[in-house]
Chain A
Amino acid sequence: MEEIVQSFFNREIAEAALPIVLAGLLNTVLLSLLVVPLGLLGGLMLALVAQSRNPLVRWPLMAWVDFFRAFPPLVLLVLLFAGLPFAGLELDGFTCVAIAFFLNTGSYYGEILRAGIESIPRGQVEAARSTGLSGLQSMVHIVLPQAVRNVLPDLLSNTLEVVKLTSLGSVVAVPELLYQARQAQSVTFNATPIVMAAVIYFLILWPVVRILSRLENRALAVRG
């Protein structure tokens, strides 16, 4: 028991590692604040283009989305970080994470927003257009607000996954929470910093999981 406390909940090491781990937390927050809007933006672009009825637009778009949903994000990240330098393009870890997330999470957000837009009856657009709103105006003021509300649980759930996914940054030396904790662990030969990182992730994300759990149960109960 004593040994377990020493190697997982070591107070001395926790105190020494705290500033390092907290610096990582700050970077995780900043990284999330960058990649979530970036993914949403990518997703919105995909969802809007997907409204086209032209099969020459729709099919390549679907292929694009499925490609990035099939491709593990870590492989994409390694490809950008370790593969691109061979093509003479050297990007730092941070930029690679931003690009990979734009492509990967954008595809997921895109599918969710597309489903949301398609859940709004066509009559809404027709009514909006007949009052004199332009196509863009009716999309922005009539369709999107309702669409987003309809798929809010899915959007929230995906955002949770995106925040968790920022831990991949540790593989390309972005000093986020997991990276910092691993640095502290490799210096101290003690698992306490990793446990600290896990506890921080849990404390921050648990409320989101609770909310989601309620929303999902309700959604399934209504539809079932």
Chain B
Amino acid sequence: MSNWDRFTDAFFNAKVMAKYLPDILSGVVLTIELAIAVVISGLLAGLVLALVRSLGIRPLNWLIIFVVDLFRSLPPLVVIVLIYFGLPSAGFSPSAFVSTWMSLALVLMAFAEEIFWAGIVSTPKGQWEAARSTGLGFGQALLHVILPQALRLTIAPLTNRTIAITKGTALGTVVALHEILGMASSAMSNSYNPSPLMMGAAAYIVLFLPVVVAARWIETKFSWKR
């Protein structure tokens, strides 16, 4: 056997790949489900926090700023470990899926709130005053005048941040979540062959490369005009 054959036999072993393909695919499905759950709940929670913050209730705003700062400074893996291994002693045992989902959603919420808030603040005060003076209520002005402008500004930074945090679904492996990396790792130790890991790596590229390329396009399309 030549060196090359030995290499392909180890890393691209057709027999091993065929055997573990269903496992990897089920990991892909779980990763997609988790990613969708994180993106929707994280962005929504971030937007709600930013809107509440725009009401200007002091003690509430301090609380929001603290929570946002907290989840911006903690590494997502620390949050996952804390929720999965820590919460059971408080009488609540979330599954690996729920732990990973909660952690990543909280982190995305924090970053999204900050970006949405920056977008709202960046809309000049005159816009508020003009909207209110035409007879729009606070909610109407926010919904029809401020948010459409604020959201446009936030699209590029928000996309990049969302991708970075969604890639964190792989962290679920640490708490034995059966997502792509988890499936690939256990398949690798069962077969004593790294081919499943190569499949897992390929799956991540197939999932995330189009999103990264799309983000590049979005960035140029919605970039700030100087």
A67 to B30, CA, bound (A): 22
The 8 Å CB contact of A86, one of B174, B194, B200, B211, is B194
Q: Are A178 and B81 in contact (CB under 8 A)?
A: yes
Q: Are A75 and B194 in contact (CB under 8 A)?
A: no
Q: Are A70 and B211 in contact (CB under 8 A)?
A: yes
The 8 Å CB contact of A66, one of B11, B73, B213, is B213
Given contacts A66-B213, A206-B69, contact A168 B77 (CB under 8 A): yes
Q: Are A220 and B90 in contact (CB under 8 A)?
A: no
Q: Are A87 and B7 in contact (CB under 8 A)?
A: yes
Q: Are B7 and A170 in contact (CB under 8 A)?
A: no
Q: Kindly state whether residue A41 has any CB partner on chain B within 8 Å.
A: no
Q: Kindly state whether residue A74 has any CB partner on chain B within 8 Å.
A: yes
Q: Are A167 and B75 in contact (CB under 8 A)?
A: yes
Among A51-59, A94-102, A128-136, A195-203, the stretch that binds chain B is: A195-203
The 8 Å CB contact of A83, one of B79, B194, B213, B224, is B194
Q: Are B201 and A79 in contact (CB under 8 A)?
A: yes
Among B39-47, B48-56, B119-127, the stretch that binds chain A is: B119-127
Instruction: For B132, list chain A residues within 8 Å (CB).
Output: none
Q: Are A70 and B171 in contact (CB under 8 A)?
A: no
The dominant DSSP class at the A interface is helix
Q: Are B78 and A78 in contact (CB under 8 A)?
A: no
Q: Are B204 and A209 in contact (CB under 8 A)?
A: no
Among A14-22, A42-50, A141-149, A210-218, the stretch that binds chain B is: A210-218
Instruction: For B139, list chain A residues within 8 Å (CB).
Output: none
B residues lining the A interface (CB < 8 Å):
7, 10-11, 69-70, 72-79, 81-82, 85-86, 89-91, 114, 117-119, 121-124, 149, 153, 163-164, 167-171, 173-174, 180-181, 185, 188, 193-194, 197-198, 200-201, 204-205, 208-209, 211-213, 216, 224, 226
